[in-house]
Structure 1
Amino acid sequence: MAQISDYFPYPSYRQHQREMLEAVAATAETGGILMIDAPTGSGKSSVIAPLLAKANGKKILVAVRTTTQLNIFINELNLIRKEKKPDLTYAYILGRGNVCPYKEIYPELHSACKKLKEKSGSLMNQAIDKGYNRPEFCPEIKEIIANENQEEPTICPAYIHGICRSDDLDSQFAFTPEAEDLIHELIYTNIPPDQLIEKAGSHCPYELMKAAAIRSDVIILNYVHILPTYIRPKLYKSLHCQPENIILLFDEAHNVGETILEHQSVTLTKRNLERITKELTKFNENNAYALALLPIITNIQNFMNKLMHKKFEEDTFSPQEFESALVHSTKYNTIEDIMLDVIEIGTLIEIDYSKSNDYREPAISKLWQFLYRFNCIKTNSDYLPIYLKERKSDLETEIKLKIRYIDPADILKDITDEHYATIFISGTLQPLEEYKKYYFRDKEIKLFSSPNVFPEKNRCIIGVNDVTSVSSRRTDPENNYNILTCINSLDKLPGNIAVYFPSYAFMYKYLELYKRCKSGKKIIVEPQNPKDRDEAARLIQEFCNLPKKGDAGILFAVCGGKWSEGLDFKGEMLTGVLVIGHPLSPCTEVRRKINALFDAKFHGKKGSFLSYDLPAINKSLQAFGRVLRTESDTGVLILAETRYTSRFLSKFPGWVNNEMKICSSKQVRSLIQDWIAIH
């Protein structure tokens, strides 16, 4: 079997890197689970080398969360190909929404793509039966394409363009020579993701990616292709993969748990119910299913209206009361009976949509998803029924129903049991033992923690012991004064600085106070609206360019927000960071109940720490780590939170714990001045 050195593309190993890669090689060879905490500078992306060395014919899947991570692994694989293995094959898979020509036309792209391909495939079969090797040259297909309304296409020319008759008796279709050339280029010479659409031309980019993935040793894809239980089996079937023959790598693995919780939860809104009612009303006169289900929708709306009078903005609701309200004055006795009829009417609605070239997923499918998750409550306590009051305006409040999934452990057990080997790696998987308990409980797994390899002399770590974001002290004048003192002290540091807050409301409060102070730094504020991605990218680029112009800025941002992870502020782009408070999610009634459930699981307070405090500490660490991105970077790192200098101090990495200078807010300025004098 190959050795790590056969795939390692660098002249030498970084400090502790070889031990990390050997741990990965051992897991890839013998199977099992490995969790790795490796701070920035450890050479994390090189874990692909031991995976390749010990794959022994197994396919390697690299699951990432962002385009930045995707490109890091692409660059690493290109380097391995250049320095070690010219014949190395790899591919990436982007979501359809990133590459489809019809992404602006169809909001429900997955459903539309499936139906367009089905109709295109039927026409191509007919063309091949008539003797056309290239279905796109069939007059009937050419006529349809020529007369298509581009705003409401009925077939997919991009899919058809890449297909020809297959010489394989087991398959009707094959790729055209032109498509094969593009697939070969994807596998062997690499087409960068940002150039794929242009390079694909009139071919379907998604089909090219999928074909390249089937033929490759390594596939880089997104978390959402792997973690949701309803997507993974379909993906593996389309890629001709068996999980027992897959080695799975999760990068930035501290995000895995949160992603699972998000995708296993489902929300039912007023808008959903309105769309479902519209669909059922259309069939009401001549369909028994529609006639029976319309009262169900009315019952759900009535149940929502009653929740409007509840005391809390967010809380659990009674499953028994909901099910009783749901079947009241209807023909149904159980949720299961309702779900069977929802499936029947959903199929009829889908057929009706297809007749009019409407490729939406039926709105009633959302009801089925909600009822399915609701039914899970009976056998799985990790599903929690909750309501949320969302204020739309001063005059309007909307109730949403949600089945919230609260614990990733069972899903992770299923995933890791399915696959031959699974590696979780992150720069902030700390404390590693706590993440192991949160993700896997007492399951037998291997752990590897790499020390920080950057020089201690390049950083000054300060812990402030008289500042907190605890709710009872947020209006305390002394606490407010101390927070502003910390911000103004960091402001004296030359160059760009960043201040991270536990919430947007917290950030805006101190932004207004800071504006009253005299400062020469340009203020850059993180946009709150999730849709403002382009504006956020423009602002961060402006911030990074300030030092080149001889200017300096102060970044106001939120822990866990757009600018707290995945950004590399190298060199003079950032010289200091201040993390204020402990960025917990709001302590609602639901949160208290989740904490209690976790405490019960772990027979004590340990549970609520894992489900509540651990993610908050990770958000702080992510923001904290924006400063030192290379071995030569220098900077000041400040944690301003009483809990971080006392009971949670041991939960931070050893290098933070050992080097932290604990002081009051008044002493921060003198420590920074001492740092400036030395550097």
Structure 2
Amino acid sequence: MNNQPEIKLSVRNLVEFILRSGNIDSQFISNASALEGTRAHQRVQKDNRDKGYAPEVSLKHRFEYEGFCFRIDGRADGIITSESGIIVDEIKSTSRPLEQIDEDYSQTHWAQAKCYAYIYAIQNELPVISVQLTYFQLDTDEIKKYLKIFTQTELTVFFYDLINQYLVWAALTSNWVTRRNTAIRALAFPFERYRPGQRELAVAVYKTIVEQKKLFVQAPTGIGKTMSTLFPAIKSMAEGHTAKIFYLTAKTIVREVAEEAFAKMANQGLAFKSVTLTAKDKICFQEETICDPDHCSYARGHFDRVNAALLDILKQEDRLTRPVIENYAHKHQVCPFEFSLDLTLFSDCVICDYNYVFDPRVYLKRFFSDNGSDYSFLIDEAHNLVDRARSMFSAELYKKPLLELKRLFKDNDPSLAKALGKLNTHMIGLRKLATTNSPHRQKESPKDFLLLVMKLIALAEVWLVSNEGRPGHEELLELYFNALTFMRTAEFYDDHFLTYVENANGDTRIKLFCLDPSHLLGEALKRGRAAIFFSATLSPLDYFSEILGGDPDSYKISLPSPFDVKNRELLIADTISTTFRNREKTYPTIARCIKTVRDQQPGNYIVYFPSYKYMNAVFEIFSASYPEVVTIRQAPEMNEEDRALFLGQFRPAPGAAPTGMLGFAVLGGIFSEGVDLKHEGLIGAIIVGVGLPQICFERDIIRDYFNKKNHTGYQYSYLYPGMNKVLQAAGRVIRTETDRGVIVLIDQRFSSPSYRQLFPQEWFPHRQIRNEPELKKALQDFWAMTIPQN
């Protein structure tokens, strides 16, 4: 058996992949099954506990067929042992009236249950077995059952009919795995030599995957983090240590770096399929993303064409980037987003946003419904995951939409209007608990409020199902999904959460706020076998390990910069205070300091500020004082074209002289990280302030939470996030081993012990600057020393 190619499949994936047909149709259907499916299952199972009912029975079936070793697994909702025989029970929750559900309601429901029955029958040598579909009506708790009796022979014929239809995919998969593994074993590191620190990182990644652990890596720019993590992960795949790689990022530009790494390895002979997932609204071919057959020809008949599209692209392409996916989606007239999701099933690496693994609302259930699979997570720019995780695991509702919809439905649907009115009244009561300047907070979840939200969801579903296109449908649909998110978040509510009510901007909101995402991230990481968190600014490592779901067995490494420290000058102007109360007095001083830095060496510079207000004030003074200097500044809302135009000012045409551009930007913004301006693209960064997040209620309650937990409230809430912004901005300057540049930090706090202990290794040595003449002299000495002599 071990010599035959192995094909692993879940019963659900087998049934849904083979039997799907027809249209994509996202016209409103109930989502309550996702929210309350577990409740329905538990209710049915509990009611039958004393009737020979065994719940959640795991089933695994290994067999050889047509040259393959198949491993099919799944979990039956229930196995009932009665005097008349064995019954396999499949429970389905629904908000549809049960009179609309007959015996032939769903082919896939029967198919899934019959597969479970087949496995159970052959493993227990049963000549006859029964299959039962149990439909649980979520609004009324009514139950409807359908029972069929099958012989083992009938089930065998049915099961192998599915397997025969899957053989073409089994052959495609096994042939590819053989070719892929042969290529991986022959693959050498795709560069002539390892950079300093690169081999150490690669070895640590490989060891982490083999040992099924977590690794937290601070790896400065220049080490080659992408290749250093992908290469060992790929090598581990050929040895059976991992089945699939998920390369997770927060930004499109980082996904492109991963694609370039695969292209580099492909040029060295690697055969490896990688797919890049693009958000639905970005990759959709339609002007308006409406996924139903009446509005989109790609949705109409999609499932009738998609398997042919899959065969075509998988036989022709290995690097499944957005343009490649769009090309084949056009060719076969299929939805590019759904097409890309199917491609993940046959890809060795999935390049995607964090939310496809961690967000409970949108994570890839086709992989992660059952925890513990052989997946490896490579999490790039991991410092961004802290705030992203808090956002993923939090939810909020506003009062104003409740009142507006209550008025709209007053005459159209009194019961729905009544439910909206009760929620609105409850929000009025909550509003009184909070003042404009002081939100109300409580540790307990708002249980009474949650009951009202559940009632609204049930009534909204009934109306939304049958009133597509009517006035109020779009507004109610938005509230419905927000309410579902609120209820899903409430399911996770524990000591890591806090509920608060805030009155602001003429409205009242209630928020379930995740103070500490470590527990839920840790649970999500169980969906794979290993996780590598890496960033140029993952410092302090102990903080990130704790907050991102690490454990006592997690590995941590901090690597030195591969660049010569003589190529950069780090200066600290620590006689200037940029605290909020002192900022206005510093405007002229900061402007003169910027001019002094620029005058010592022509070239491109970016000045980073803690806020738009601070930036704009200094920009106006600087522009008026030095009109001869070419400047550009960041705007609060910039689309992709605006960003490209901004960065284009720092990238001269080939052969052209440097532009001498002076940019004004904000710390933590779009130009302070993920920007790669090599060589003359950027020769200096001036960082004004220590980057502390703006003082606000949420930051304060995070501070209070961690003060009680480990006495590090200020550090976790303000200091570490602020310093991370500074490190990211400073990292824009030296991007290659031949780059030269200066980093000027302006704030007296940078010389305090609490900040100096957060300086990375490559920030030593540095110089403290007391006045403008010292600044000028230090810069002149640096540029004179580093400019190559003819």
- Give TM class, smaller chain: 0.7 to 0.9
Task: String of CA shifts for 1:247-272, please: whole Å, max 9, x gaps.
Answer: 11101111111110122222323553
Cα RMSD for the two superposed structures? 3.0
Counterpart pick for 1:484 among 591, 603, 618: 591
Show the counterpart of 2:629.
Answer: 521
Show the counterpart of 1:109.
Answer: none
Distance 1:433 1:376 in 2: 25
Distance 1:4 1:259 in 2: 37
Q: Secondary structure at the match of 2:410?
A: helix
Counterpart pick for 1:654 among 761, 774, 784: 761
Show the counterpart of 1:556.
Answer: 664
Check if 1:273 corresponds to 2:402: yes
Partner amino acid for 1:449? S
Higher helix share: 1
Partner amino acid for 1:12? R
Show the counterpart of 1:345.
Answer: 459
Q: Secondary structure at the match of 1:22?
A: helix
CA contact (8 A) 1:406 1:594 kept: yes
Check if 1:567 corresponds to 2:675: yes
Deviation, 1:372, is 5.6
Partner amino acid for 1:13? Y
Deviation, 1:398, is 4.0
Show the counterpart of 1:137.
Answer: none
Distance 1:5 1:507 in 2: 53
1:105-504 aligned at under 5 Å gives the runs: 105-106=288-289, 112-113=290-291, 116=292, 153=295, 156-160=296-300, 162-164=302-304, 175=306, 177-186=308-317, 188=318, 190-194=319-323, 196-201=325-330, 202-232=333-363, 234-236=365-367, 243-269=372-398, 272-274=401-403, 276-277=405-406, 280-281=409-410, 283-285=412-414, 287=415, 290-300=416-426, 302-303=428-429, 306=432, 310-312=435-437, 315-317=439-441, 334-354=448-468, 361-370=477-486, 373=489, 379-387=494-502, 389-390=504-505, 397-440=506-549, 443-475=552-584, 477=585, 479-492=586-599, 493-504=601-612
Distance 1:497 1:71, change over 3 A: same
Distance 1:206 1:629, change over 3 A: same
Distance 1:315 1:630 in 2: 48
Partner amino acid for 1:209? S
Partner amino acid for 2:459? I
Check if 1:44 corresponds to 2:250: no
Partner amino acid for 2:190? P
Distance 1:76 1:520, change over 3 A: same
Show the counterpart of 2:214.
Answer: 33
Distance 1:388 1:668, change over 3 A: farther
Distance 1:162 1:480, change over 3 A: closer
Distance 1:282 1:380 in 2: 42
Task: String of CA shifts for 1:136-155, please: whole Å, max 9, x gaps.
Answer: xxxxxxxxxxxx5xxxx2xx
Counterpart pick for 1:10 among 182, 191, 197: 191
Q: Percent identity, aligned pairs only?
A: 22
Query: Which deviates more, 241-250 or 555-564?
Result: 241-250
Deviation, 1:300, is 4.7
Check if 1:585 corresponds to 2:693: yes
Q: Structure 1: which 5+ residue stretches go unaligned? A: 107-111, 121-147, 165-173, 324-332, 391-396
Distance 1:415 1:40 in 2: 28
CA contact (8 A) 2:431 2:503 kept: no
Show the counterpart of 2:733.
Answer: 627
Task: String of CA shifts for 1:524-544, please: whole Å, max 9, x gaps.
Answer: 100112x54432322221333
1:85-104 aligned at under 5 Å gives the runs: 85=270, 87-102=271-286, 104=287
Q: Secondary structure at the match of 1:474?
A: helix
Counterpart pick for 2:744 among 622, 627, 638: 638
Partner amino acid for 1:631? E
Distance 1:16 1:40 in 2: 11
Partner amino acid for 1:455? D
Q: Secondary structure at the match of 2:577?
A: coil
Partner amino acid for 2:207? A
Check if 1:19 corresponds to 2:200: yes
TM-score (normalizing by structure 1): 0.80
Deviation, 1:339, is 3.4
Task: String of CA shifts for 1:147-179, please: whole Å, max 9, x gaps.
Answer: x5xxxx2xx421445543xxxxxxxxx735455
Show the counterpart of 1:509.
Answer: 617
Task: String of CA shifts for 1:297-352, please: whole Å, max 9, x gaps.
Answer: 431553476478x251x6344578x96xxxxxxxxx93343233123113213302
Distance 2:372 2:362 in 1: 13
- Number of residue pairs the alignment of both structures matches: 593
Task: String of CA shifts for 1:586-619, please: whole Å, max 9, x gaps.
Answer: 22344333212111110x2x23202321111111
Check if 1:77 corresponds to 2:77: no
CA contact (8 A) 1:386 1:590 kept: no
Distance 2:729 2:430 in 1: 39
Partner amino acid for 1:226? V
Distance 1:631 1:523 in 2: 28
Q: Secondary structure at the match of 2:695?
A: coil
Distance 1:388 1:467 in 2: 37
CA contact (8 A) 1:527 1:536 kept: no
CA contact (8 A) 1:438 1:610 kept: no
CA contact (8 A) 1:376 1:383 kept: no
TM-score (normalizing by structure 2): 0.70
Task: String of CA shifts for 1:396-450, please: whole Å, max 9, x gaps.
Answer: x444443322222112211223320011011111222332233347632101211
Deviation, 1:23, is 0.5
Task: String of CA shifts for 1:504-549, please: whole Å, max 9, x gaps.
Answer: 11111111221222253211100112x5443232222133338935
Distance 1:456 1:311 in 2: 51
Q: Secondary structure at the match of 1:659?
A: coil
Distance 1:181 1:572, change over 3 A: same
Distance 1:241 1:265, change over 3 A: closer
CA contact (8 A) 1:388 1:401 kept: no
Show the counterpart of 2:5.
Answer: none
Partner amino acid for 2:513? R
Partner amino acid for 2:625? C
